[in-house]
Amino acid sequence: MLMKYFIGLSIALFLCLFTRAQSPSEQLNQLFDARSRKVLVAAHRGDWRNAPENSLQGLLNCIAKGVDIVELDLKRTKDGQLIVMHDPTIDRTTNGKGKPGDYTLAEIRKFRLRNGLGRVSGHPVPTFEEMLLVARGKILIDVDKGYDYFPDVVRLLKETGTLNQAIANIDDDTSLDSVEARYGQLDDRLTVMPIINYGRPGAAGIVSGYKKHRRTIFQPVFDTDTLLLLDSLPALRAAGFGIWLNSMWPKLSGGHDDDKAVEQGQSAATWGWLVNKSASVIQTDRPVELKAFLR
């Protein structure tokens, strides 16, 4: 009996020492593997409960906690630099006032980010390039609110060597034809994610149009879980496309949200429902709790 115990312990130690963790690029590629059942966790605006949203510290926290993906948002300064910022103004998230485009990068770096309680921290507004360089080789990046700067986003991904670990979001209900009419044919290596309101007329047509770009992750948004189009999600995943579902707020996921999962103890009926709908990624404001549920 004792011998069996030591044999089992030796096998476990061997697996711990020699099982190689997946790189971010391998994780991203796995989203397009129809055989994979793995679900990745995306932290909405980073670890904003413990650091300012869209901050470098929030990114570092996510890396340390083993989160798979960090979602961030972009704006442009007066001198054309891409910074990480969600709102059209800096009023809510910094101790400054006005629009990001009112300031040069040097000027906006003088302000400090506010934490979740609205208190001023010591953290400056990061640039997109800074975030990419810190994330390189460590964590996947989802680029939201960057569609207006699409060519610059793609250029920076290539220059920083992070094209293979990033997802570029496409504005709500924008067809692939519209994207390519505006920006030209997509690079085959680029992973894009159209955000599609599944309750609106024409949603099925937008989905169909993206199937010719193989590195597409679909992000359905729906305020009710009774839509017939949702029944097609398993077929999309079986065809080798990614499925990104959101659990931050009820209106994004038909009522299957984080607060219901954590505060009301209904994780199986919320996160579990999203998993059963063939989610390959779930974006959350509760990344640690979601990771624990998935384990």
Give me the active site residues, please: 44, 86
DSSP 8-class letter at 110: T
CA distance 275 to 282: 8
Contacts for 216 with CB less than 8 Å, ≥ 6 apart: 191, 192, 193, 194, 210, 241, 242
Classify strands 217-221 and 82-84 as parallel, antiparallel or unpaired. unpaired
Strand spans (E) along 113-266 = 140-144, 166-170, 192-197, 217-221, 242-246
CA distance 295 to 192: 28
b/e per residue 228-255 (b: at least 16 CB within 10 A): eebebbeebbeebbbbbbbbbeeebbbb
Token pair of 174 as six digits = 């924008």
According to DSSP, the residues that pair with 246 across neighbouring strands are 283
Sequence letter at residue 121: S
Angle at 203 between CA 199 and CA 204, to 5 degrees: 120
CA distance 229 to 210: 16
Q: At what angle do helices 150-159 and 128-135 cross, to 10 degrees?
A: 40
The candidate with the shortest Cα–Cα distance to 285, out of 45, 61, 40, is 45
Token pair of 145 as six digits = 């609110």
